[in-house]
Amino acid sequence: MRTHRIRRLEAWPVKMVLTEPYEIAYETVESTTNVFLRIETDGELVGYGCAAPDVHVTGETAEDVLHSLNGTAELILKGSDALRPARSLEIMKSKFPNAGATRAAVDMALYDLMGKASNLPLWRILGGYRCSIKTSITIGILPVRESVDRAKEYVREGFRCLKIKGGKDLERDIERVLKIRDSVDRRVELRFDANQGYTVEEALQFVEGTRRARLELIEQPTPKGEPELLGRITKRVPVPIMADESLTSLRDAFKLAKHDLIDMVNIKLMKVGGIGEAIQINSVARAAGLETMVGCLDESALGIAAGLHFALSRPNVVYADLDGHFDLINDPSAGAVKIRNGSLYPNDKPGLGWDPERKFTGKPVSTRRLA
């Protein structure tokens, strides 16, 4: 059987401005820099990956990622068999234990190579449980009237699930959620993300104050460094509680599940280090009876494609928050995924569906989004 030895790595940064800045509990974002990765083999195969570093989430900058990929990572991977990703990713994990975005870029490129070698889209290779998945679209921290207008706009565009950001002003958060609920069809699902902005007591007040809104879930209400606080909320409220920032590794998943601290987990490839690690974390979640959501940061369509292919492959990945590419200007990988009536679809090209040497017909979505 022919092997495909890795001959060369090339990484480069791409700065993408958002069509509209957004605000969450701890920052306002106007642009993002993704680092694209090209892995070339000694055959004709070329794989592509993408890192979306975020100091608050992954602890990395774009400069960190570039230095790692063009330095140590190339030394590790050069000459290795590109179609043995588990071995290469295990070595990467030992060298970069706290660099999820760096590892995610390599992981994506290696899985992309597997798909291209098989001439199949990756979601089919990974299991192919479903063909598409509904995604939420996010409403940032805005005044009440603007929040309502944004919710109506998204529903008109076909989105059936809205994710509302908060965590800075408890009373205003309650008002925004209730006003949005009153403004959209009851069949439109509402999720809330506090981005670590609440105390336990505030979270309990929020749940009580928004009871009639029938929220589908509440994401990371308390600080990530104190996961036991999530457990105190989970045990006292009827709304499912989801861990996001508190989950960055397989060990985190095990500890959260072992102590029954949450009802759901949000797996972001940039946090955990890519598809390979996400599969293992999801297995822990499934064994513990926890539902999974695949989320994202401010990521190009290539990064979103990787999350989507993983989400389509597993039965207990029942939620998606994959809107990180919607509002990015000049995304070089636009077209790697498709959206229709609020659901994401792969483009069914081999691997992750992107090759910059081929012209894609996809175009950036003209809706607003948040991480």
Catalytic residue among 165, 224, 338, 349: 165
Q: Catalytic: 193?
A: yes
Q: How far is CA 154 from CA 192, 337, 355, in A?
A: 16, 19, 30
Alpha helices in 96-224 (DSSP H): 100-118, 122-126, 144-156, 170-183, 200-209
State how far the Cα of 177 lies from the Cα of 360, in Å rounded to an integer.
Answer: 38
Check if the beta carbon of residue 141 is closer than 8 Å to that of residue 165.
yes
Q: For residue 300, give both structure tokens.
A: 């190009």
State how far the Cα of 327 lies from the Cα of 146, in Å rounded to an integer.
Answer: 18
Q: Catalytic: 255?
A: no
Catalytic residue among 107, 112, 173, 219: 219
Q: What are phi and psi of 189, to 5 degrees?
A: -80, 140
Q: Catalytic: 201?
A: no
Q: Catalytic: 149?
A: no
Of 1, 48, 137, 44, residue with least CA distance to 349? 48
Catalytic residue among 40, 54, 173, 193: 193
Catalytic residue among 268, 271, 338, 349: 268
Catalytic residue among 244, 298, 323, 355: 244
Q: What are phi and psi of 269, to 5 degrees?
A: -60, -35
Residue 7 DSSP class? E
Q: Catalytic: 165?
A: yes
Catalogue the active-site residues. 165, 193, 219, 244, 268
